[in-house]
Amino acid sequence: MPLSRIASSSHASNLLKPLSAALSLCRSISSDSTSTLTIETSLPFTSHKCDAPPRAVDTSASELFSFFRDMATMRRMEISADSLYKAKLIRGFCHLYDGQEAVAVGMEAAITKKDAIITAYRDHCTFVGRGGTLLEVFGELMGRTCGGSKGKGGSMHLYRKQASFYGGHGIVGAQIPLGCGLAFAQRYSKEENVTFTLYGDGAANQGQLFEALNMAALWDLPAILVCENNHYGMGTAEWRASKSPAYYKRGDYVPGLKVDGMDVLAVKQACKFAKEHALKNGPFILEMDTYRYHGHSMSDPGSTYRTRDEISGVRQERDPIERVRKLLLAHDIASEKELKDLEKQVRKDVDDAIAKAKESPMPDPSELFTHVYVKGLGAESFGADRKEVRATLP
């Protein structure tokens, strides 16, 4: 089935609105563009205190195309951010996500925008997956008013409350108890939604993780803790920092699942499984076995504590975008030329967003004193609800 017969997927995020040329390839909707394809994950799931989900994942031609398109856009965005930082147009901290795109994209395919996500400082792609635009990302990275946080937060503090994305957090592991708090609010409000709290293998050793997990388990909160295990906490290999690097088992009394985080279909299947479990039974742990191509941050070359052969080996054997490219070609969904044309258009749209961001002004100095406090949240508003809060607990 040629690409020209595939329509844009209904769940695809609005990060791709500028892709006019790419979308012109998808003019007509074929009756079989959304028909079910069943594809087996690259590796089996490894479970702890639960039965693993099946490896056979239901998808469609349009969904696979949207996966390729979304991940290609995220990859180009992050590579461009690297260049902008080296040109000193981005200052401060900057943590890139290239290599890990399948986690952000696969997770979105399994949930809704009413399910909450909170993450650490490697947050650009998660923000885009929640519906943020390229312009908002580059504007924020360059400190411009068009940025997602008005240019006042920078790389580590992207945020999109209207899509239940609660940040970007710069303190290692600090988002974990906040994520469990979001899950508490969901239970308190009797919502049928969950919270995905993302953290890295370095943060997996933080005490606040175990404290928050204990409370989440006591109260059966719909909390899903997602360890994005890219195998290096800054420059330290996981085996040097963790006596027990099987992060999906670290919850002990909480069930978990180890997932090939470089396989977007495996991530989708695991997140769907985890959401169903959390709504019925309480917290769940997912370990996403993934990999970052760049260093920990822009000050880290990423090649002093690992070999170039290791990095190139992952690129050749496990790259999430190349895996989907192979599926699109194998199932005759797109040709090599069509995918290359799409990538050219992605590059153009990223360049256009950068150009527009550069034209946006810096915030006025008076903005330093705005958005510091939320109006109307006095101490008197909390005491009256204490009995009601206690009543929701076991």
Q: What's the pLDDT tens digit per position in 127-147?
A: 999 999 999 999 999 999 999
pLDDT confidence of residue 378:
56
Distance CA 355, CA 230 (A): 32
pLDDT confidence of residue 29:
29
Q: What is the pTM of this model?
A: 0.89
pLDDT confidence of residue 15:
44
Superfamily of domain 3-391: Thiamin diphosphate (ThDP)-binding fold, Pyr/PP domains (3.40.50.970)
Low-confidence ranges of the chain (pLDDT < 50): 4-31, 382, 384
- In the block, tokens 């996403």 appear at 288
pLDDT confidence of residue 390:
53
pLDDT confidence of residue 394:
58
pLDDT confidence of residue 374:
79
- Partnered with residue 59 across adjacent β-strands are 37
pLDDT confidence of residue 1:
52
Residue ranges of the domains in the chain?
Answer: 3-391
pLDDT confidence of residue 17:
47
Chain centroid offset of residue 166 CA: 12
pLDDT confidence of residue 14:
45
